[in-house]
A = this chain, B = another copy of it.
Amino acid sequence: MSDQDAKPRSARATGSARLTDVARVAGVAPMTVSRALNRPELVSEATRERVRRAVSETGYVPNQVAGALASSRSRLVALLVPTVAHALFAEVVQTVTGLLVPRGYQVLLGLVGYTPAEEEGVVETVLSRRPDGIVLTGCHHSAVTRQRLAASRVPLVEIWDMSDDPIDMLIGFSHHAVGRAVAEHLLARGYRRLGVISADDARAERRIDGLRERLAEAGQQALPLRRVGTPSSMPWGREMAAELLDHHALEAIVCSSDILALGVIAEAQSRGLSIPDDLAIMGFGDSSYAAASFPALSTVRIDGATIGRRAAEQLLERMARPQFERSGAVEDVGFSLVDRATT
């Protein structure tokens, strides 16, 4: 009998208030409510106040899904990192989120693992959300991923790596250079017989390439290597250190993460090896605990906060512009070698 009995084809899903409900209560047009909420400077103070009242009276919560469809702006930024279980990436996530949220963006988190295949699937679904921007870890993607990202014309910052051919913007550091710097440091200290324990990860691989290159220049060819699965952990480090030390007479072990290095320290100590005299150890990441380990761990410091901050800034600037235009902005934030007690 009432209006509501005239059952429409698709019923309203929720009973919650819509913009039109607020408009009715406020006695204005829906468009005016929309403006009062999104562009308040276009609406008179009196009207704003009436809208404000109507909003609280109706308990209105805007529907950004509808808003995004109508305006083609999702106010969503996709943040794609391999994992958050690693403090370095967690720091990036923390920083990027902290900068974007106050600017009205929300973060869609994607964990892409360490393989291009995993990444491809995540990128695909992320694009279907029509994010206004994307922060993507690494520069080595599958051809499909690259193509899709470029075709989407969504502002994009690749981070945590360097490349001659970024898809769009890029903020990171050279893993190859890290490897060389580590080799340089160890050579300078007189260590010659090196070994490596590394996660199976393309970027770690490139650090090893850099390391190997520098060692080769110094006439060192052998570089015994053990790979570990993800996530890296102390026990992995310890186990692989044991293997390396059983088979090779090493003076130093380079690890692809601090946590592995902690395992190596444990193994060295259990063998009664003196660190760094019998065995030097290098980590990667300068985790919060690196300085606190005993002996304090020498490592490579990456400033995740700076990377995150610059990435967010670049993205915000780009998203503020009307049209997407590839800027090719590239920034190398570098790294620093932290020399503590294990080298």
By the criterion CB–CB under 8 Å, are A65 and B234 in contact? no
What 1/0 mask marks residues of chain A from 78 to 92 whose CB sits below 8 Å from any chain B CB? Answer: 010001110100110
Q: Please measure, in the bound complex, the distance between the C-alpha atom of A94 and the C-alpha atom of B87, giving whole angstroms.
A: 12
Expressed in whole angstroms, the Cα–Cα distance for A126 and B75 within the complex equals: 12
Q: Which residue of B lies closest to A269 (CB)?
A: B294
We find that the number of chain A residues with CB closer than 8 angstroms to chain B is 58
A270 on interface, CB distance cutoff 8 Å: no
| Identical copies of this chain, number | 2
Q: Which residues of B contact A20 (CB under 8 A)?
A: none
Most buried by B among A16, A72, A265, A288: A288
- Closest B residue, CB atoms, query A94: B85
Please tell me if the beta carbons of A69 and B61 are within 8 angstroms of each other in the complex.
Answer: no
Contact partner, A109, options B16, B87, B109, B151, Cβ 8 Å: B109
Q: Which of A57-115 contact B (CB under 8 A)?
A: 59, 61-66, 68-69, 72, 74, 79, 83-85, 87, 90-91, 93-94, 97-98, 101, 106-111
Q: Which residues of A contact B (CB under 8 A)?
A: 13-14, 16, 59, 61-66, 68-69, 72, 74, 79, 83-85, 87, 90-91, 93-94, 97-98, 101, 106-111, 122, 124-130, 148, 151-153, 233-234, 259, 262-263, 265-266, 287-289, 291-294
